Structure 1
Amino acid sequence: MSFTLATWNINSVRLREGLVARFLQEEAPDVLCLQECKSPVDKMPLEAFRSLGYAHVVARGQKGYNGVAILSRLPIEDAGDRDFAGLNHARHVAARLENGVVIHNFYVPAGGDVPDRTVNVKFGQKLDYLTGMRDWFRAARPHKSILVGDLNIAPREDDVWNHKQLLRIVSHTPIEVDHLAQVQEAGGWVDVTRQNIPKGQLYSWWSYRSPDWSAADKGRRLDHVWATSDIAAAGHDSRILRDARGWDQPSDHAPVLARFDL
């Protein structure tokens, strides 16, 4: 089976239904994983996506916040979800392809503005969520699996516009990077994007606060495509659709894509 997989934090699937439709029509991924849908499942515009050929959907929703969905042209079955750190948030859902490959779609908590759990509850929740992911993967020992989503951490120095300036900024602090590395090691995950694009600055998120995001180019790579080591070599043609960040009323994230031959 050969298929293209995309992940995109859409920042409200109802508000940006048209952008999702445009992406599906222009890029035609076989599977699209969305995060931050900000909608209960019954309010998501799934019929519009089904009309474009994405007849298979596995989703978890929440009114106004969070929410994750997997849209597919290929048959998929619901493979469950996990509520890490006891947050009762719709931040994870999994689906299984007919060839047995499991796709995990994650939206890791952003963590607030202050990288100190003693004064910022959200930062502590983020670290606890990552610890929960680590412990689960350590016990489950996943294989033949792909993990995608907005992990809200840019781990490498070249995943941010300025490593030194962002060391104390949530999403690139050493403690977050270490927690993410533990998740990766626990599951035997390979960063497919960086496997395919090993060198150079690479971003998937640009702040709304920048008046000219493209010219300033102060980005971070917060969105990821990983695969377990047994299938990681099958991932290729990774890319980030930077242009989508410049569409009308865009998400602050751009889609990340990869192709798998399995």
Structure 2
Amino acid sequence: MTDSLTIVSWNINSVRFRIDIVERFLNEVRPDILCLQETKVMDTAFPRAAFEALGYSHIVLHGQRMHHGVAILSRVPLQEDDRLDWQANGEARHVGVRLENGLRLENVYVPAGGDIPDREQNPKFGQKLDFLGRMTEWSKGLNDERVLLVGDFNVAPLESDVWSHKQLLKVVSHTPIEVEMLNRLKAANDWVDLGRHFVPEPGRLYTWWSYRAKDWAASDRGRRLDHMWASPTLAPAARSHTVFEDCRSWLKPSDHVPIMTEFAL
């Protein structure tokens, strides 16, 4: 393994439908590892050949037909670790691997949580909170391991992580209870939020723009839903963090853009 390691996380919103922009990104950026969320495909139908042709021959999948799904594609060897059911219903929302150097990489797709931020009126919102609660309990047991937790957390925790804090306080992804749950998760392992480590608030750091806007860039109603968190033992190795905002303008884009951290290992 080289002295430098680059890891990308991207909610691709259907890997088969958007395989062209995935291939373009991999050709242009050439990260060592790509973590995808919302792949929306069974493992048997995953487009493995496209990744293998680009040198990403180490592939670990946790897929589901038409919904959810996560994948890790790598140019460096991977050892399979686990697929945790933080949703407690069998949905494919997590996959974890271990690298040859011992680093653990955990790729997660947190539920969106529906539209109404109330557990009683909207069971999906309760499922989201419970999911974060299970992740928190898991985090407490990590001890001093070098772990990178990446993915679509579906929570924008800081005021500067959304286009309008006041207008989104009652909108799922930025409600106080979600932010509180995410902060509990963060505290459970003293996670370092690498995005805000390299781009301190209130710096611009959006990763998601709705499809509803006719011109996403002009309206610029972004949120930071995608995250990379490093354990305290791993964080000092992080060298840079990049948000590839231009990908939102590519042909048939995802509503999320890729984020990448480079590590010196």
Give TM-score, length-normalised by structure 2.
Answer: 0.97
- The unaligned stretches of length 5 or more in structure 2 are none
**What is residue 131 of structure 1 aligned with on the other side?**
133
* Structure 1 residue 3: Cα displacement: 0.7
Provide the C-alpha distance between the structure 1 equivalents of 2:242 and 2:77, rounded to a whole number of angstroms: 24
**Separation (CA, whole Å) in 2 of partners of 1:57 and 1:85:** 23
Matched-pair contact (CA < 8 Å) for 2:195–2:205: no
Query: Mapping of 1:156-235 within 5 angstroms?
Result: 156-199=158-201, 200-235=203-238
**Map of 1:78 onto structure 2:** 80
**C-alpha separation in 2, matches of 1:8 and 1:249:** 15
Shift >6 Å, 4+ stretches: none
Aligned residues: CA RMSD: 0.9
SS at match of 1:15: coil
Q: Where in structure 2 are the equivalents of 1:103-122 lying within 5 Å?
A: 103-122=105-124
In structure 1, stretches of 5+ residues that fail to align are none
CA distances 1:32-75 after superposition (whole Å, capped 9, x unpaired): 00000000111110111011000101110000000000000011
Contact 1:192 1:236 in 2 (8 A): no
Match of 1:100 in 2: 102
Are the counterparts in 1 of residues 144 and 233 from structure 2 also a CA contact under 8 Å?
no
Amino acid at match of 1:103: L
Paired with 2:189 and 2:249, the residues of 1 have a C-alpha distance of 35
Give, in whole Å, the separation in 2 of the partners of 1:184 and 1:105. Answer: 16
Number of residue pairs matched? 262
| Contact 1:141/1:186 (8 A) holds in 2 | no
Identity %: 52
Cα distance in structure 2, aligned partners of 1:20 and 1:77: 23
- 1:187 positional shift: 2.1
**1:86 match: secondary structure:** coil
Q: Any conservation in 2 of the 1:161–1:201 contact (CA below 8 Å)?
A: no
* Stretch deviating more after TM superposition (101-110 or 230-239): 230-239
Judged with a 3 Å threshold, the aligned counterparts in structure 2 of structure 1 residues 190 and 197 are, in CA distance, closer, same or farther, namely same
Distance 1:248 1:139 in 2: 42
TM-score, normalised to structure 1, is 0.98
1:190-243 deviation digits (Å, cap 9, x = unpaired)? 001110111312100000001110011000000001100111021122011001
Aligned to 1:153: 155
